[in-house]
A and B are shown apart, each in its own frame.
Chain A
Amino acid sequence: MTDAIEYSGLSKTYGRGKDALTAVRPTTLSVPWGQVIGLLGPNGAGKTTIIKMTAGLITATAGGVRIGGHDIRRDRAEAVRLIGAVLEGSRNVYWPMSAWENLMYFGRLKGLRGAEIRPRAQWLLAELGLWERRHQLVGGFSRGMQQKVAVAAALITDPQILLLDEPTLGLDVEAARTFKDWIARLARDEGKTIVLTTHQLQVAQELSDRIAVIREGEIIADLPTAELLARHAENRFEVRLDAPLDGLRASIPDGATVSEDGIETRIVLPDADTRALYGFLDRLSDTGAPLTAVAKAQPSLEEIFIRLVHDELDEERTS
């Protein structure tokens, strides 16, 4: 069985000669059916270019993309029927049309008949809390509601593959959470294959089965999320005190980092063994410091991401 998405030597260079800019260096990877892959990278890393090449909206300079075994260029009609997309920096749907009209249009655009579209449109709009406002123009909606219509339009044909480029960009906390829950449901309950780009690394960590980190058009890490976290796991402990540090500074082991917010103090002991931890706790005990938590802490995806992107860059500069 073919994979959902296959990139073979995919690359993109804009312009020619001296002005040439390589947005994506030759990339070969496959995304199996049902996998959620998070594409992470700083601005300008090439994430959106990869997403758009996947959808056939940008033509690759070299290499190719296959969607469910269909070449996106030679067999575009078959390939795009498998895709739903919410693109970054885009309205994605027609603001002068109602939510209902948009769903009918995008459903027909993919070849569905009205009778096939209506029940799914009804279900999607109800699920997203837009049913009562289905006949209102999308231009009058809030940003979160507009984005919900964009997602509904992407899902109207029940595509197996979703390309979500910064789907929570510009959304408030509540709308972003609704989206995150929705994406999780699509992956978990419907087995959708999802390519997700986001700068909210916590969201990527929670949703993605696999993480690919891109820097300057090159994939510098591509691992299952758990493995990526495990590889960068550290033997470090976090100690929290319900008080400012004040007179306790002398007790802090070498190499520890301290953060204070005036109420709570957070001390992280990197590369610490349990003996060092016990020693530190003994010293705290002697001073009667109000201890609130002791935990084994792991670096978040955000810390790993920053380390990957910046450390490699520093290494390159040094060499």
Chain B
Amino acid sequence: MTTAATPVGATGTPSQTYLWANEVAKGLRLAKRRWGMAVVGIGMNALFYVGVNFFIGGGRIVTELMILTLPALLAATIASTLAIEGSGGIAEEINGGTLEQAQLSAASATTDVLGRVTALALQGLAATAVLGIAFIAIFGLHYEPHPSAIVPALLIVLDAMGYGLVVIAMTVRVASIGAITHVFNMVILFFGGTIVPIAIFPDAVEAAVRLVPTAVGVQALNTTLAGEPLAAAWADGTLPLLLAHTAVFITVGLAAYSRNLRRAKREGGVGPR
């Protein structure tokens, strides 16, 4: 028997960027194989969204409302993709033992989980793009976005990634996370501006639901989609709050994932439960 490749010891320690990219590639590959379930979930949310709009319009689609609420549906789509697929994926890896194998690497816990959520965010963005284009084409929606709309849009994706990180971290610790994730996603769908813009909620309720992932991001995005500059979103307080919200969720998610992984290793590993 001969050795047909250079032993691993001959190469240097791989960079975290390289390991992150490897994790992203794996995540996209797995997403490709599981697209069916994701499509069903997203389709159900879209049908629910159209149904609610139809109900509010008393039997007709209210496009003026849809223009304001479609960004929230798209944001919720990314967030739910990250939470459901992220939670389900890590649970499957724990039960299948591949999470343990993935630990036999120079990749840090942060690199590993960032790779996972990046792939999920790309998966969510792809679904969002299809959904957004379909709604705009079918219902004739018209937006005149300010170019700076890209900033809150990107921050929404990062905010959703932070939410996904928190859910993934919880899944490492809590075996039956499915129901909890479902409740979280319902909260985003109902109170994140998908049914009506959160600005019409009573002040106290609006202040509270701004803490829901993606909700304040949708407010900032709607400002720029209406043609206002980024300064307007900064001045009304939505952009600073979005930045803070995103930073907190990502930081808490990364810290919780690392902590829960360490704890799991102390308590018996991250292998099949």
- A and B: partners? yes
Q: Is A110 located at the chain interface by the 8 A CB criterion? A: yes
Interface string of B91-133 (1 = CB under 8 A from A): 0000011101111111100000000000000000000000000
Question: Chain A residues near B3 (CB, 8 Å)?
Answer: 120, 158, 190
**Contacts A58-B268, A87-B101, A89-B272 known; A105 to B26 CB distance under 8 Å?**
yes
- B100 engages A108 (CB within 8 Å): no
- B1 engages A94 (CB within 8 Å): no
Interface string of A82-104 (1 = CB under 8 A from B): 11110101111111110001000
Min Cβ gap A118→B in Å is 8
* Contacting residues of chain A (112-169) with chain B, CB-CB under 8 angstroms: 112-113, 116-117, 119-120, 122-124, 127, 137, 153, 156-160
- B262 engages A90 (CB within 8 Å): no
Interface size class of A (residues with CB under 8 A): 35 or more
Q: CA–CA, A186 to B3, complex, Å?
A: 11
- B98 engages A92 (CB within 8 Å): yes
- B271 engages A93 (CB within 8 Å): no
Question: Chain A residues near B105 (CB, 8 Å)?
Answer: 80, 109-110
A95 touches which of B4, B96, B268 (Cβ 8 Å): B96
Question: Chain A residues near B30 (CB, 8 Å)?
Answer: 94, 96-97
- B106 engages A90 (CB within 8 Å): no
Q: CA–CA, A31 to B11, complex, Å?
A: 25
Question: Chain B residues near A83 (CB, 8 Å)?
Answer: 104
Q: Is A106 located at the chain interface by the 8 A CB criterion? A: yes
Q: CA–CA, A33 to B97, complex, Å?
A: 27
- Pick the interface stretch among B14-22, B175-183, B196-204, B227-235: B14-22
Q: Is A185 located at the chain interface by the 8 A CB criterion? A: yes
Min Cβ gap A290→B in Å is 46
**Contacts A89-B97, A96-B34, A116-B5 known; A52 to B104 CB distance under 8 Å?**
no
Min Cβ gap A83→B in Å is 6
Nearest-CB residue, chain A, relative to B10: A116
Q: CA–CA, A111 to B104, complex, Å?
A: 11
Q: Is A189 located at the chain interface by the 8 A CB criterion? A: yes
Question: Chain A residues near B4 (CB, 8 Å)?
Answer: 119-120, 122-124
Min Cβ gap A15→B in Å is 8
Cβ-closest 10 pairs across A and B: A90-B97, A120-B5, A111-B14, A157-B8, A77-B106, A123-B4, A108-B22, A91-B96, A96-B33, A189-B1
